Amino acid sequence: MEIVIVGALGLAVGEVMRRRLNRLGYRLAPAEQETDGADRTPEVDETALLAPGTRWWITVVLGVVWGCVGWRCPVGWVRGWPDAAEWAYFLGWLGFAGIGLGMAVIDLDVRRLPDRYQILLALVTLVFGILAFWEFPIRLLVGLVAALVCGLVFLVMHAVSRGSLGLGDVKLVMTCGWWLGLTSVPSVFAGLMVSCVLAVAYSLFSRQRQFAFGPWLVAGTLVAGLYLARV
């Protein structure tokens, strides 16, 4: 029952998200990019890019992912009032999937992860993560350490790649590391491995040597957190 209800809600929210994103309000002119902190394509006028089309898949993807959250994180709210920690973990995943999908769509379009989305995703995972695991402070500590380590590793990769790996990815991986680190350390490694495999597969399929990595970080975190982690 949770799968059907949450999946249907995801379809509705996904359709609203699709319509909002298709207004292309996130696209910036070069002058705006200078003040927005874009770290990849500051010389490109994003408002002059071709329209991306209907992107109907946004609605479908969010519906499917939210349905998976309802399946893998059942809180039993159909049968009774669940535990507050279960609610927080469940809502945290819904928030991560929704905001993460929005960031993935933008990154695929303009290869940029806006700071306002980064902050929103970080706040959602931070608040719901603390609410879900406040009785287990060791997990909160592991999540914090995972976030710092992931951020440091990606910051080094950003420097070595001379910006090919953007600072937006550095910020995003810290949020992903925190969220996965709350469950277990292996899930953090699994999330990064899945992200890299998906990114390499996309690169080989599309024959692109430079591509947005943010969507694969989000996808890897979802796969590792929902299917590989053990809470």
Q: What is the pLDDT of residues 185-230, one digit of tens each?
A: 999 999 999 999 999 999 888 887 778 999 999 999 999 999 886 5
**Residue 216, both tokens:** 């694969």
In which region does residue 207 sit, left (phi positive, over 0), alpha (psi from -120 to 50) or beta (all else)?
left
Q: Are 69 and 194 in contact (CB under 8 A)?
A: no
Q: Which of 116, 127, 110 is nearest to 41 (CA)?
A: 110
Nearest to 58, CA basis, from 11, 117, 112, 4:
11
Please tell me the total count of domains within the chain: 1
Q: How far apart are CA 28 and CA 173, in angstroms?
A: 24
11-67 tens-digit pLDDT: 999 999 999 999 999 999 887 766 554 455 556 789 888 999 999 999 999 999 999
Can you give the residue range of the structural domain that contains 173?
A: 2-228
User: For residues 88-103, b (16+ Cβ closer than 10 Å) or e, as one string?
Assistant: bbbbbbbbbbbbbbbb
Q: What would the two tokens of residue 187 be?
A: 């899930």
Reference 187, options 138, 151, 124, 143; nearest CA is 143
Q: Does the structure show a pLDDT above 50 at 178?
A: yes
Quick check: 113 pLDDT over 80?
Answer: yes
In whole angstroms, give the CA distance from residue 179 to residue 170: 15
Whether the CB-CB separation of 96 and 121 falls below 8 Å is answered with yes
CA 58, CA 63: separation in Å to the nearest integer?
A: 9
pLDDT of residue 78: 45
Angle at 36 between CA 54 and CA 62, to 5 degrees: 35
Q: pLDDT digit string (tens) for 68-110?
A: 999 888 665 544 555 788 899 999 999 999 999 999 999 999 9
Mean pLDDT of the 139-163 span? 94
| Torsion over CA: 34, 18, 204, 192 (sign) | positive
pTM of the model: 0.92
Q: What is the mean pLDDT of residues 131-149?
A: 96
pLDDT of the residue at 79: 46
What pLDDT sits at residue 209?
Answer: 75
Joined together, the tokens standing for residue 136 give 């287990």
